[in-house]
Amino acid sequence: MQQNWKNWVHVTKLDPDKPISPAAVEEIVTSGTDALMLSGTLNVTQENLRDLLDLVAAHDLPLVVEPAGPECVIFDGIDLLFVPSVMNTDDARWIVGKHQAWLRHGDGAIRWEKVVPEAYIVLNPASAVGQVTRAHCGIGAEDVAAYASVADRYFRFPIVYIEYSGAYGDPAVVRAAADAVENAVLYYGGGITSGERAAEMGRYADTIVVGNAVYDQGPAVLRETVRAVR
């Protein structure tokens, strides 16, 4: 499991702060998506994270938790923990500070074999993640490519994640990041609401992430996006 994630092309992101029915979960897990990522920026607690985990755990699909902070780290019942660092912020808490606090004040029982670091490049200034992390979102393709290359070649992050979080991004920016990345897996997330958009971003990103569309349009759109990137 720890290596199979490198071959995923489609991930579905579910937010612990958003209600979802068991019937919808059944449609999601049978859509052909490669994995479920439990992730959110606001109002995520151990309680609602575990409630969502209980809802999806019975299905035979890889489960990833992407914690918004140290308080949302869990290891039991999941396959992998994707831990983000935001590259394009001046606030060091979101690059390394939260991570140091996690190790400093945690109980020491870190399952390192489950931990996968992510280099986030956040590009939607209206998004919760953009506002919380104070990311410099108004940067162009050249700057994004430079961040992606630094993350990949210097810091050796295994994942570089282009995050537009609710908005559909610029394919030229994603292409620039793809051209800059040599070793990392390139993720793209944001505004994937159709097969056409999934296919367009899937030309450049190794893995696309579909999140809001599941809640806004229903699980049927998920099958369309899966078909588009297969």
- Check whether 7 is labelled as a binding-site residue: no
- Check whether 27 is labelled as a binding-site residue: no
- Check whether 66 is labelled as a binding-site residue: no
- Check whether 85 is labelled as a binding-site residue: no
Q: 159: Cβ–Cβ under 8 A, 6 or more apart, which residues?
A: 82, 116, 117, 118, 119, 184, 185, 186, 187
Contact 14, 63 (CB under 8 A): no
- Check whether 88 is labelled as a binding-site residue: no
Closest CA to 174 of 202, 204, 151, 203: 204
- Check whether 76 is labelled as a binding-site residue: no
- Check whether 18 is labelled as a binding-site residue: no
Binding-site residues for Mg(2+), in ranges, read 15, 41
Which residues are part of a known binding site for sn-glycerol 1-phosphate? 13, 161-166, 191, 211-212
User: Which residues fall in the annotated binding site?
Assistant: 13, 15, 41, 161-166, 191, 211-212
